[in-house]
Chain A
Amino acid sequence: MYTIVRKLHLYSSFFLAAFILMYFVTGFIMIFESDFKRENIREVRISEAISSVQMHPDSLIHWLRKEYHIRGQYTVRMEPQQAVVNFLHPGTVTEVKIPYPVDSVFITTKKGNIYTTLHQFHRLHGYQGGLNYYVWAFVYDLSASSMIVFALSGLYLWYKTERNRIAGWIVLSASTLLTAMTIIYLMLLS
């Protein structure tokens, strides 16, 4: 049992090391946002006349990808006056507006700086946007699950490895107390 748990703890970190480091480094940048300012470094605007396009969301996405080579995950908003589609892949945000009647398209593409890109990598999630993003979302789930695996397996490994556990119990109790007090304070005392 000890060997299995130890290998699970180890190989989870081997396979996911790059993602775990990415999430924690980008998380650090997000925490100290005032020191790592996000901004756009380039903006490209396109406005064109278009003849006809099907305004069904799936057809619209397919057409935009084919005609303008726009990539990334997307959200579609069908507003009364226009259709708005937002595409995102880390580092690049593209907004497409097609006002009614459908005779023109306005595309604004913004390229973010390194901190914007890292921020977007951290928040990239969801099973949509194509195979690339489905796999990313799966690896995201693995990384999230690995946090739980590391915590529980690590607790077991410490318990089985260390003979003198007093210091460990003190540290674990302190973190338990802080977490419990924070949740109790927010839920009951705030």
Chain B
Amino acid sequence: MMIRRLLLKIHFYGGLACFWYLLILGVSSLHFNHHFSFMEKTGDPVFWTRKLQLSGSNATDLVLSETIRDSLALIGWPLPWETRHDSSGAFHFALEQPAKRYVIDYSAANHVVHIAETPKGFWRVFNSLHGSGAVPRAPIMHAWEWYTRVTVAVIVLSVLTGIYVWFTGNQNRKSDLYTLLISLTIAVLWMLQLYTKG
């Protein structure tokens, strides 16, 4: 009885702790399967300019991108496949983070950097939190990274505690047990069939 109460409390509080993450998982997964157009809207780009003098030489394009990003106090990942030098010597790269996309043009000759910043909209940010880990230069995302790990552990525990709590409290266990076992068996056999035969 004590164990059952304890597991029920764990189930309750674990669920409450993961409440928002569960909503994010559900909504983002539905979007992944259906690509709702209203969730893919982005805002209009905003253009801004900064004077930027970089000291020293930068060994690689990645290092140069990260140096420019850090100098501008931006967060996110430089994209290697959208990085290039043009014939005038200007350096172009794209920078992605969950809420914004930046296209950055740096002219070493003029010490000027031009930034086109495109916001991604609430739903894209909401959906990007599904499984999201650390974002370069964004300390708060370390907390979200840990929240992701905790949610995974809590949900697995919640499925098991929930089943235990039901079976120890329910008189009519046989039909529920058969339901669970049959659905588990069908699911596992189906996954095996997809794996072996496609």
Contacts and interface: CB of A to CB of B under 8 A. Distances in A.
Instruction: Determine the main DSSP class of B at the interface with A.
Output: helix
Interface string A23-39: 01101101100000000
A30 B131 contact: yes
Contacts of B188: 18
How many residues of B sit at the interface, in one of the four size bands?
Answer: 35 or more
Contact of A144 (B12, B26, B184, B197): B26
Interface stretch (A42-50, A76-84, A98-106, A180-188): A180-188
B7 interface: no
Given A175-B19, A182-B140, A18 B198 contact: no
Contacts, number: 172
A13 B162 contact: yes
A92 B198 CA distance: 8
B78 interface: no
Contacts of B19: 151, 154-155, 172, 175-176
A148 B26 contact: yes
B98 A186 contact: yes
Nearest to B23: A151
B17 A175 contact: yes
Contact of A168 (B16, B25, B74): B16
Contact of B33 (A18, A21, A141): A141
B29 interface: yes
Interface stretch (B47-55, B83-91, B104-112, B146-154): B146-154
